[in-house]
A and B are shown apart, each in its own frame.
Chain A
């Protein structure tokens, strides 16, 4: 069995903090958006306070993530490297859709140089650098409504901010479900979760 020390402490601490915050934000976000006296999940004013605090914490952890990524060079992991990005994506997709059921080995081996396969790199890049910034920016506008436009198309200016916040939040929740499931596709169903805790990747 070979072992690689893949994930330094700062990535693991950031990852689990991020996970807890996003779960708290998703649960309270659902309570706020689908507020209904018949279906109480988290009491409204409590949900609003938790959502505000967790949102500010997520903004701080995102700032830490960006700075630490730049400082350590980890950002490079999120860039699918040419040539053959599309081909590698297709090979990886074929494995998820077919090879995995046949018990075929992973098409690409994890290395210190490339933690992620091409599909992972693309999806993480999309979530972390495209979706999450929009969700955070619209969240800040929700927190400080004066930052939002006054009126848009005859509606309150917070409407487009709220819709973007809601949609990006939904994409992140869907990503999180898929992300947790894909965490079971390692050598064993739990090996990737162990790596995310210990930092060691074992094959």
Chain B
């Protein structure tokens, strides 16, 4: 993931000329015209004749390695809807893939993400360096952007819009390893307690036992809401993935009127916040009822008023009873 000096200069030049515009650095889909998209998709069809479920089911050639093909299949429908679906496969999978059989070195020659996303990589690299994924010996080298972000599937949150879809997509990236012993073992560093033995995957239900309704949380929010440090309102989430010791454990950071969800999962929608029907954080309420965060000040006032009036009523009644009893006693005497 480290940038070489050429990429660094390219990134700095891009950042200067574009005024650090994230859309420009990210290779904004809007910059590609319709004719080019059509041309790219047409070109991709030849890749999908093999690299798709249909290709695996009915291989167009007899000499294909089906095991490898299964691992490298892409769903054309899903890919075309993904952020990178406007591109020609060969923009990342460079020249050697034009021929078949593809050369063995083909995979190594796949263009790194920084080729297009140099500015973003430059900003995120220091965050990743501090991440739990870069801390253990030998682990960092096994990680690339695509370990977590599947370029054949992923859609940027701003385009996905629906928080439930954002959650499902992003958590899938984490759970692919953290909910699979097989995949976890491929990345697992050496155990700190048992030298020479690979760390085994901790059961995610067990390590989240402290969290009430953990499974409900995983459907409603992303792992990174708690496993990344706090960020300012207009900044993208940090790529510093926090381990269980550093991860957020204060429920109130989300479950309060000033919910941090506004700067995290809902940051793309916060501008739509209109206090709908008078609810606080109504933008969150459109997707999830979050106790403590999605309240209605008028209902709260009515409820507090009811309880206070009852209290005042019984205290007043009791006081008058006591005074009346004293008066009766005085009269008797």
* A residues with CB within 8 A of B: 32-37, 44-45, 48-49, 52, 96, 100-103, 145, 154-156, 158-159, 161-163, 166-167, 170-171, 173-174, 177-178, 181, 184
Contact = CB atoms under 8 A, between A and B. Distances in A.
A37 B307 contact: no
Place the interface of chain B in its size category: 35 or more
A101 B252 contact: no
Nearest to B259: A35
A33 B286 CA distance: 18
B248 to A, nearest CB: 12
Contact of B256 (A36, A162, A167, A170): A36
B314 A36 contact: no
B307 A156 contact: no
Question: By DSSP majority rule, is chain B's interface helix, strand, loop, or mixed?
Answer: helix
B328 interface: yes
17 contacts: A32-B255, A32-B291, A34-B292, A36-B256, A44-B252, A44-B255, A45-B251, A102-B324, A156-B287, A156-B288, A158-B288, A159-B294, A166-B303, A171-B306, A177-B310, A178-B310, A178-B313
Is chain A's interface secondary structure helix, strand, loop, or mixed overall? helix
B291 A174 contact: no
Interface of B: 210-213, 216, 250-252, 255-257, 276, 282, 285-289, 291-296, 299-300, 303, 306-307, 310-311, 313-314, 317-318, 320-321, 324-325, 328
Contact of B306 (A35, A100, A174): A174
Given A102-B328, A181-B317, 18 more contacts: A33-B292, A33-B295, A34-B292, A35-B251, A35-B252, A35-B256, A36-B252, A36-B256, A37-B250, A44-B251, A44-B252, A45-B210, A45-B251, A155-B285, A159-B289, A174-B307, A178-B313, A181-B314
A150 B328 CA distance: 62
Contacts of A184: 318
Nearest to B249: A45
A156 B320 CA distance: 48
A158 B286 CA distance: 11
Contacts of B252: 35-37, 44
Given A52-B212, A166-B299, A184-B318, A35 B307 contact: no
A170 B306 contact: yes
Nearest to B296: A163
A177 B321 contact: no
Contact of B310 (A33, A44, A101, A174): A174
A159 B285 contact: yes
A154 B279 CA distance: 13
B320 A45 contact: no
B286 A155 contact: yes
A170 B307 contact: yes
Contacts of B303: 166-167, 170
A102 to B, nearest CB: 7
Given A36-B256, A145-B216, A158 B289 contact: yes
Contacts of A162: 289, 291
Given A45-B251, A156-B287, A36 B257 contact: yes
Nearest to A36: B256
A154 B286 contact: yes
A103 B325 contact: yes
A120 to B, nearest CB: 16
Contacts of B293: 35
Given A156-B287, A166-B299, A37 B306 contact: no
Nearest to B282: A155
Contacts of B292: 32-36, 44
A185 to B, nearest CB: 8
Instruction: State the 4 A-B residue pairs at the shortest beta-carbon distance, nearest first.
Output: A35-B292, A44-B251, A181-B314, A158-B289
Contacts of B289: 155-156, 158-159, 161-162
Contacts of A33: 291-292, 295
Contacts of B286: 154-156
A40 to B, nearest CB: 8
Contact of B291 (A35, A36, A178, A181): A35
B286 to A, nearest CB: 6
B243 to A, nearest CB: 19
